[in-house]
Structure 1
Amino acid sequence: MDDDGDDPALEDSDDDPAVRNSVGDGDHGIVVQAGWIDSVHLGSAGDSAAALADPIIATVWVQPSLTSLYVDDDPPRKMASSGDVHVIHVEARTTRAVTLLGLRPVVVFRRPPRRACVEVRMGGIVTPRPFTADFDSDRPRLTALRRDFPFSVSATDVEQFHFVPHVSATEVGWRLELDWLVAGKPGTTVIDDHGKPFGLYPSQVLADESDLDWGCDMFHLPGCPAERLEALGRPVTSPPPAEERLQAIIDHAGDHEPESFRAQVLDVLDHLNASGQSELGASVARTVQRAWGSALGGNHRDTLAVANRLAGYLLKLGELQQACVLFESTYRRRVRALGADDPGTLVSAANLALSMSLLHGPSDRVRELRVDTLRRSRAVRGEDHRDTLVAAVDLGYLHLLDGDPHAARAVLADALRRAESAVGPDDPVTRRAAQGLAKAVAAIEA
């Protein structure tokens, strides 16, 4: 450097433009001389105007349940029924938090119920139900069964709501309106079925007005809406949500540790059963039964739980003899390993009775199983437990098959009264009890 402090490297040049940095008089603390600085960004770009104007992403699916309902439309279509659980997944497009202020159900239209058929399945998924709404009301309101609004979501913090709408007399088209606040600005997001209202069917009318019911139960009848829909080449079940997660569990279903993973596998098997994927479910269940039987033992509770589910799949696939043999084996193993009063044993007893009835018709063994299952369930779980109610309804239907409508009426009337109070009018158990009671009364009056 020259004595006068000038650096030749900073002299002006056409090839290398000079940059001079200078600081005026005064105390400036630490100063960095940087020369050329490119792409300077001060602060943050933040959320875009478009994201702030429409910050909510909402996805809705109907949780698979013990039943599927198909309405007699042109073409026939699957429809959610009163009491079905609608899962609402809410996330934000913005990095900053969006406050969710409230959720409003809105009735778009009402119409008289059309004919429909209901498929009833074995097994099911227990789902929390934090919110509900009564669509019989002219102005339905959202009712929180647990924590209520407000909530908060962001791009990394999502919320999932379980919404259970109810209706008793009319088909309803409906949507939800979600109020929110972001960056001090309020707004509303409409949640619907891709621009169309969600549909809801009053399943109770199928018990009250038999002319609307095709009469399907565990198997569809020829000409019913579900059969016609399948004949058109359209699947009668919707693909399950979280497909990738589901497939990942299926791919590793043979793993037996940890215990929490086994519970997930059992949930997946229930999901496949409830969503009508019997062939896939049977394939997965066979793999799991072999793997868990080898690792945990054939009498382990979880191995037996898989065996029971596999037998259920075989029953749905029409393999009645195999299903009956496996139900019998599972029942005997559960009695030895878990005891006659264990909830799993009671389930196996009921399933064995069902398979024997389908294969051979009513018999003394079936009657013994039905009566004993109801007696034990009442003692272990109580009169109003859902499994006890199922056992009572099963016994009532057996009385109908035996040609004893008076005994059927006594059992089913009590079961219906308890079910309406314990599980609600829209539960499949309640509807089945009501249908059976109507048949018993009709037989007595005939």
Structure 2
Amino acid sequence: MTKKTVTRFAPSPTGLLHVGNIRTALFNYLYTIKNNGKFILRIDDTDLERSTNEFAEQIISDLKWLGIKVDKIYKQSERIDTYKKYFSQLVEDGFLYECFETQEELDYKRKRLISRRMPPVYDRASLNLSKDEKNKYLDEGRKPYWRFKLSGKKIVFNDLIRGEVVVDTSTQSDPVVVREDGGFLYNLPSVIDDVEMKITNIIRGEDHVTNSGIQIEMFSSLGKNAPIFGHHPLLVDENGDPFSKRNAASSIKSLKDKNFEPMAINSLNISIGTSIEINSFQSLKEISDILNLNKLGRAPGRFSLDQLTKLNSSQLSILSFKEIKNRLKTENINANEPLWEIVKNNIDFLSEYTKWDKIINKDIKIENFDNEFLKLAADSLPNQPWDEKTWNLWIEKIKASTDRKGKDLFLPLRRAITGLEHGPELKELILLIGYDKIKRRLLGEYSD
């Protein structure tokens, strides 16, 4: 019987999610959609000093806003008793051992190895301590911390993205799994949860390749088969630097506050560094249908705000008035379908709609510099009612009275009518603005 695909996204609530974090969430979620599986959000909040409920709630909010639907949410801080049960079993089976070095002693050992140009691998000094030696440390007031004993073998696994991967555990220190204060560190709770939650596939950044080799040994120590791993290239910014939770500007919350569209973020995030052409997709289902993890590039994906802005503009241009109407009303903005159809191809952000709403419906003060020409244009305005032929009739009347053409003809009109040098086609705008407001603007007149 084929197992149901179950993936997970396991962020730590120690800061805001950035686009690099979301890249991992997207790969897992899209893989889940493609395989009709289940997507789990696991809040890895065992670091009680740095984790906050505020960040945890923001993670949930960010995923929802991006359209990533979570089937179930877990918090590791609520599962400590489960970890203790497995911990006791692993101690009994001889896979964990207690250590007594202080941080200063470990730092000294590390520096000595590095000075001798040797890999700074833990020497397992505590593994061979006698019972009397352990009791002596305990009498001194030292509290033990615990390490997982690696086999020293080469772990080979088939990666969904990278193909065959080899991790030589002999080059790694036995990982610390429990601190001296009794707190659990990343690796062991992660493996225990993956077992209990029946995770079948883990897709994460390539910086976790070594962790995966270590965790495969932990799965084995529990008598379980490891999930199938996939390690994707990391995301970097325009300067080639990795993203960080300390950089709030790259956070999903910040991009949302700047009025970027969620599907613009998703479209760029999942396209760069892949075989998918950078395009503005309308749904995550559409992306999942064409995503092939085997065709991911090996180079880091470079996330550009300029590219994101272009995609954002493209995303707005394909939105119908029906899709945008309620969003405008929620923000107490006048929702006008003819206006939306005119401006949606000329804005980068939805917030710019209000600017055009004001240009269309309010009296705006515009400083004119070409008064003689604009007076001629005002006198040439066709009589009402206006229709789609009005613009051409007006321009022909102006041309009959002046030798202007091209930019010299159209730019002064655009500036006088909208106060801007760029925007939607004037032949459509003038029908919404109307005769009276256009004439006042051309003549530099304003109502109080």
Q: Give TM-score, length-normalised by structure 1.
A: 0.19
- The structure richer in helix per residue is 2
